[in-house]
Amino acid sequence: MHNTITGFSKLSKSEKIDWIVNTHFSNTEHAKNIIKQYWNSDSKLQQLHDEFIENTITNYYLPFGVAPNFLINGKTFTIPMAIEESSVVAAASKAAKFWFNRGGFKAEVVSTKKVGQVHFNYSGKPETLRQFFETVKPKLISETESITKSMEKRGGGILDIELRDKTKDLERYYQLHVHFETKDAMGANFINSCLEQFAITLKREAENSLEGDLNIIMSILSNYVPECVVRAEVSCSVEKLTGNKGISPKEFAEKFIQAVRIAEVEPYRAVTHNKGIMNGIDAVVLATGNDFRAVEAGVHAYASRQGSYSSLTHAEVDNGIFKFWMEIPLALGTVGGLTSLHPLVKLALQLLGNPSAKELMEIVAVAGLAQNFAALRSLTTTGIQEGHMKMHLMNILNQLEATPHEKEVITTHFKTHTVSHSAVVEAIKELRAKA
């Protein structure tokens, strides 16, 4: 192919851009201008961004918004959210406002264990391996002391190491299954460093004293953290569920609970239901410099833990009290990674009062629960499109290059009319024809 290249990573930033625009675009100047218009004028700040990943040519912007009035465990928060989808921040803010005068959100971290594994093959007898493991276990721990020292000072470290026989699933396959406590760090680098040292020690000791071949396959943390779990909930008497268009509080509670139960039993609905939860969660995870891909993977695995994919949230009415809650695995950090490097991440954490990792888990879980409440409230009353399309209206107007005056007139018009793409196009055509 004509547009392959060797040694691309060794080129300077401007050489990379020249190669990209000259080989991939017909209008080279236009492409180059788009790339350069997102550069930061502060060269130090731009260099910082350039060094986060490899082969950087520009910055990719996402809107950074805030959802105020979140009452969590008696404390008020303004939650930062980085997301491109219209109506997410509005929905979170609406849910926060709704629950503010109904006792707010309660959140609690249930557990904070994280997991890492050393995967290996062994050709000898399982009993021989078990005896060897018991002998070598103290060495595994002592030889990681230089790595664990500072984590232990903060109250973290290696909690336990377990040998797991997985030969029923895969021939000759075993693993060291290790639990860690990483305190305010997400802990990926810490966990992986410990695991790689375990692998070195295990292989060396096996060669010295174990019958049968032991071969290390890989050492890596797991993003499935079913023992690093936070619970978030809201509750109030059914009578207080007021303000839902054309529907009594009792009927609203019944419809809402049925909507949640449908997501508990129907995977096609559950995926969309949980995606709505993740709208809130990912936006805060991203704004606070955490790994939203790891969170997504772990959460969806957790949603399938009973053997079929199901809702993460649950709802009931008990003795006249409506309750809506969720338990969710979240491995988050407030130190390390981007948290001390990215200026907006630092700002986001300051906005939240510089929370501990546990507090951030609670805040993030609440954002997800709020998002799901807002979505279900819309779905079971007015329908999702009314609010969503009103938020989407501005995107359509921007696509049509509407002037400030046109935006004002059209926005006013659609306060009393149904928004659709064709209706907006028609309205702007009429307005321009009159002008």
- Note the pLDDT tens digit of each residue in 169-202: 999 999 999 999 999 999 999 999 999 999 999 9
Answer for the pair 205, 158: CB distance below 8 angstroms, yes or no: no
pLDDT reading at 384 higher than 70: no
From the list 241, 245, 218, the residue with the least C-alpha distance to 321 is: 241
Distance between CA atoms of 301 and 33, rounded to whole angstroms? 42
Among 50, 291, 359, 362, the active-site one is: 291
Distance between CA atoms of 122 and 174, rounded to whole angstroms? 7
Q: What is the pLDDT of residue 394?
A: 83
The token duo for 239 is: 């009578």
Among 106, 250, 255, 275, the active-site one is: 275
Answer for the pair 35, 19: CB distance below 8 angstroms, yes or no: no
Answer for the pair 147, 197: CB distance below 8 angstroms, yes or no: yes
Distance between CA atoms of 138 and 134, rounded to whole angstroms? 8
Q: What is the pLDDT of residue 336?
A: 84
pLDDT reading at 34 higher than 90: yes
Global model pTM greater than 0.85: yes
Distance between CA atoms of 340 and 81, rounded to whole angstroms? 18
**pLDDT tier at 1, thresholds 50, 70, 90:** very low
Tell me phi and psi for residue 259, to 5 degrees: -60, -40
**What is the pLDDT averaged over residues 235-258?**
92
pLDDT reading at 264 higher than 80: yes
Go through 279-314 and write b for each residue having 16 or more CB atoms within 10 A of its CB, e for each that does not: bbbbbbbbbbbbbbebbbebbbbbbeeeeebbbbbb
pLDDT reading at 6 higher than 50: yes
406 sits in which H/E element: helix 404-413
CA 386, 390, 396, 397: dihedral to nearest 10 degrees? 150
**Burial of 409 per CB tally in 10 Å (0-12, 13-18, 19+):** middle
- Note the pLDDT tens digit of each residue in 314-324: 999 999 999 99
Beta bridge partner(s), residue 107: 232
**Burial of 357 per CB tally in 10 Å (0-12, 13-18, 19+):** buried
345 sits in which H/E element: helix 343-351
Among 32, 114, 388, 392, the active-site one is: 388
Among 13, 18, 85, 314, the active-site one is: 85
Percent of the chain with pLDDT over 70: 97
Which SS3 state, helix, strand or coil, does residue 329 take? strand
Go through 75-110 and write b for each residue having 16 or more CB atoms within 10 A of its CB, e for each that does not: eebebbbbbeebbbbbbbbbbbebbeebebbbbebe
Tell me phi and psi for residue 247, to 5 degrees: -145, 135
N- to C-terminal Cα distance for the chain? 52
Q: Is position 85 annotated as part of the catalytic site?
A: yes
Q: Is position 275 annotated as part of the catalytic site?
A: yes
CB atoms within 10 A of CB 12: 8
Q: What is the pLDDT of residue 388?
A: 59
- Note the pLDDT tens digit of each residue in 64-116: 999 999 999 999 999 999 999 989 999 999 999 999 999 999 999 999 999 99
Q: What is the pLDDT of residue 414?
A: 85
* Average pLDDT of every residue of the chain: 94
**What is the pLDDT averaged over residues 260-287?**
98
**pLDDT tier at 218, thresholds 50, 70, 90:** very high
Tell me phi and psi for residue 274, to 5 degrees: -70, -30
